[in-house]
Amino acid sequence: MGKSKVWLLIALGVLGSLVAWALLVRNVWNATTTRVGSAAPGSATQERAMNDVCSCDTSGHKISFVTVEPGVQLEVLDWGGTGQTLVLLTGIGDNAHVFDQFAYQFTDRFHVIGITRRGFGRSSQPAHGYDLDTRARDDITVLDKLNIRDAVFVGHSVSGTELNKIAAVYPHRVKKLVYLDALDLGSGGWANLPQPPPPPEETAADLESVQRFAAASAR
């Protein structure tokens, strides 16, 4: 077995541990969190308000679940504040809680909310609706349900793509766009970038090096 295969196994092990940890955290969160309201997702109830009840979450936000289409609800965090609404959109793999130590810094000038997109966190995880048009429409639907006319949108990482779509399709809902270390995967010719060179041929010395490292680490 060559060096690249050994490192592949190590990477898979680390990935498996991360997935298991994420599932554990989610189960603990669900077990210690109470959802207020008896309406099922997709019912006539458009929003279920819920105060923080998880002991591990000390941020001052409030949580609600907003129905964006039948059977699909998005987790929306509200850090309070007054004035123009500031909407925080996350990078891929994150949920709105990633902004907990960041959002409160703007509540003196803005009403700050964050949206966890479908498929992540405690938002619904339907089998459809992950295209750019739907994601942008989800964000605007949240504003509609919360009676927010327009907003300043802040997008981190891949949310830059959503900002572009929102501005193009819903310009009357946008006060300003803020790109926070963002990117747009829909442009730039990513598919045409040069591919990395192939790995070198595997040798017996590769495996010996890994074995020596493992033996030294075990001492």
**Taking 80 as the threshold, does the pLDDT of residue 54 lie above it?**
no
Same-domain check for residues 2 and 18: yes
- 14, 72: one domain: no
10 and 115 assigned to the same domain: no
Least confident of 58-72, 120-134, 182-196: 182-196
Residues 56 and 125 in one domain: yes
Q: Is residue 111 part of a domain?
A: yes
Average pLDDT estimate for 186-199: 68
Mean pLDDT of 127-134: 93
Identify the pLDDT of residue 193: 66
The count of domains in the chain is 2
The answer, yes or no, to whether residue 154 has pLDDT greater than 90, is yes
Domain range spanning residue 170?
38-185
Based on the domain organization, do 22 and 55 belong to the same domain? no
Give DSSP secondary structure letters for the chain.
Answer: --HHHHHHHHHHHHHHHHHHHHHHHHHHHHHH------PPTTSS--EEEE----TT---S-EEEEEEEETTEEEEEEEEE--SEEEEEEPPTT--GGGGHHHHGGGTTTEEEEEEE-TTSTTS---SS--SHHHHHHHHHHHHHHTT---EEEEEETTHHHHHHHHHHH-GGGEEEEEEES---TTSS-GGGSPPPPPPPPP-HHHHHHHHHHHHHHH-
Pair (123, 173) in one structural domain: yes
> To the nearest whole number, what is the mean pLDDT of the chain?
78
Percentage of the chain exceeding pLDDT 90: 53
Same domain, 54 and 137: yes
